[in-house]
Copies of this chain bind each other. A is one copy, B any other.
């Protein structure tokens, strides 16, 4: 993974400001006792948690596994979905015979619930063909409870060993933890201090991903490598550099951050980042609004605004250097239109991306670039760890608490009143 920042970016002032916090993050990793809100930093090297997950996967994995169903919302599913979609999900429609597939049930939607249940009834023949991961940090959220009740309400009447196909992932001793224990459903623990949006490298992300045959060791290795670089005062600490980039531009009135991904496969990764940034720093009337753009879809939708509209954005161009080969035929059907015949389509995408970076430069719009070597678990792990640390540093620079979300309660109170009627 490579990062390209403008050489003139001066990080000296912020380095002074955050020097002790960077050290503190390093200490938290060394202590490894999950006593502070930054404890998610311990996860990439936590062999104890990994062995718990390995054991659970060994217990649940079957040769016939077709569907890994994840019931969870927000921090409980965005991380695993980001990784799955980047690797497989974006082409699931076109690879109907590739298994296991991950299916994510997040919000409640009668149409999707009904369609999924109908699909499940006709496509699943035995209990070995599915595994269900029910995830809720607090163990009380409405959406996963409703989705679990609807799905399990059917499954328990059809498959005698249904409980063996389920795993609940939640905080120790949460209401859902207790229900799991009562019912005899296996439970995995989320360390108390690890918040939902920082939990992708805990059982929350790792268990369902491993069930879907995704290489979680390589994911963790990528995260660990990046983490160990990014808790030091070093020019390679790109978590810190990008937090400074954001912070300096925010002070100049740029309050929107655009993640411009040049692979549609990354769209869910952008959604993971939205929560990470939105919930972590959107408070005390501060905050930066994260948006997600896809090259070249948004060239035909949003770039007019980005280059012609109000100058309120920073941009991060994210792309993978290597990708599959796919060639435009040599013999063109539309010869007067084709300046691309015989070309590898990845070259064309790359030309659009380079043209985009030049346009940003000419418009004097602040941006930087992140290059994945290719889309794989190692690079995904590194990117996600880099971003989680970036947000911790950025919150510190902004003077807000990166780990709470007080305003989320606002609608819950009103909703509960309405449901109780």
Q: Which A residues are within 8 Å of any B CB, using their own CB?
A: 73-76, 78, 90-96, 103, 106-119, 139-143, 145-146, 148-150, 152-153, 156, 175-176, 178-179, 183, 196, 255-256, 263-265, 271, 274-275, 278-279, 281-287, 289, 291, 294-297, 299-313, 323-329, 331-341, 343-346, 348-349, 351-352, 354-356, 358-359, 362-363, 405-408, 410-420
Whole-angstrom CA separation of A405 from B304 in the bound complex: 6
Q: Which residue of B lies closest to A143 (CB)?
A: B296
Contact partners of A265 in chain B: CB under 8 A: 109, 111-112
Whole-angstrom CA separation of A145 from B58 in the bound complex: 48
Q: Are A92 and B93 in contact (CB under 8 A)?
A: yes
A345 interface neighbour in B108, B285, B337, B407, Cβ under 8 Å: B108
Contact partners of A95 in chain B: CB under 8 A: 115, 118-119
Q: Are A178 and B336 in contact (CB under 8 A)?
A: yes
Whole-angstrom CA separation of A410 from B78 in the bound complex: 34
Q: Which residue of B lies closest to A178 (CB)?
A: B336
Q: Are A339 and B419 in contact (CB under 8 A)?
A: yes
Contact partners of A142 in chain B: CB under 8 A: 340, 348, 352
Q: Which residue of B lies closest to A280 (CB)?
A: B304
A305 interface neighbour in B139, B278, B323, B340, Cβ under 8 Å: B278
Known: A74-B300, A117-B326, A175-B337. 6 other contacts (CB 8 A): A90-B111, A110-B345, A114-B324, A179-B337, A354-B418, A355-B411
Known: A286-B309, A336-B175, A355-B412. A111 touches B93 (CB 8 A): no
11 A-B pairs (CB sep. < 8 Å):
A110-B345, A111-B324, A142-B340, A146-B345, A149-B338, A179-B337, A299-B411, A303-B411, A343-B419, A355-B415, A359-B411
A334 interface neighbour in B90, B176, B351, Cβ under 8 Å: B176
A348 interface neighbour in B271, B325, B363, B419, Cβ under 8 Å: B419
Whole-angstrom CA separation of A138 from B66 in the bound complex: 44
Q: Are A275 and B302 in contact (CB under 8 A)?
A: yes
The 4 closest A-B pairs by CB, nearest first: A74-B300, A282-B305, A287-B309, A355-B415
Whole-angstrom CA separation of A418 from B73 in the bound complex: 43
Known: A282-B308, A329-B149, A340-B419. A303 touches B408 (CB 8 A): yes
Contact partners of A335 in chain B: CB under 8 A: 179
Contact partners of A282 in chain B: CB under 8 A: 302, 304-306, 308-309
Q: Are B326 and A301 in contact (CB under 8 A)?
A: no
Contact partners of A362 in chain B: CB under 8 A: 410
Whole-angstrom CA separation of A148 from B5 in the bound complex: 37
Q: Which residue of B lies closest to A109 (CB)?
A: B264
Min CB gap A234→B, angstroms:
31
Whole-angstrom CA separation of A271 from B72 in the bound complex: 25
Q: Are B336 and A312 in contact (CB under 8 A)?
A: no
Known: A94-B119, A340-B419. A358 touches B411 (CB 8 A): yes
Whole-angstrom CA separation of A279 from B301 in the bound complex: 6
Q: Are B73 and A300 in contact (CB under 8 A)?
A: yes
Min CB gap A296→B, angstroms:
5
Q: Are B363 and A301 in contact (CB under 8 A)?
A: no
Whole-angstrom CA separation of A147 from B165 in the bound complex: 42
Q: Are A94 and B106 in contact (CB under 8 A)?
A: no
A145 interface neighbour in B94, B327, B337, Cβ under 8 Å: B337
A110 interface neighbour in B299, B311, B324, B406, Cβ under 8 Å: B324
Contact partners of A112 in chain B: CB under 8 A: 90-91, 94, 264-265
Min CB gap A162→B, angstroms:
10
Q: Are A326 and B113 in contact (CB under 8 A)?
A: yes
Min CB gap A155→B, angstroms:
10
Known: A112-B91, A337-B176. A150 touches B358 (CB 8 A): no
Whole-angstrom CA separation of A418 from B350 in the bound complex: 9
A304 interface neighbour in B109, B283, B309, B358, Cβ under 8 Å: B283
Q: Which residue of B lies closest to A264 (CB)?
A: B109
Q: Are A148 and B278 in contact (CB under 8 A)?
A: no
Q: Are B358 and A310 in contact (CB under 8 A)?
A: no
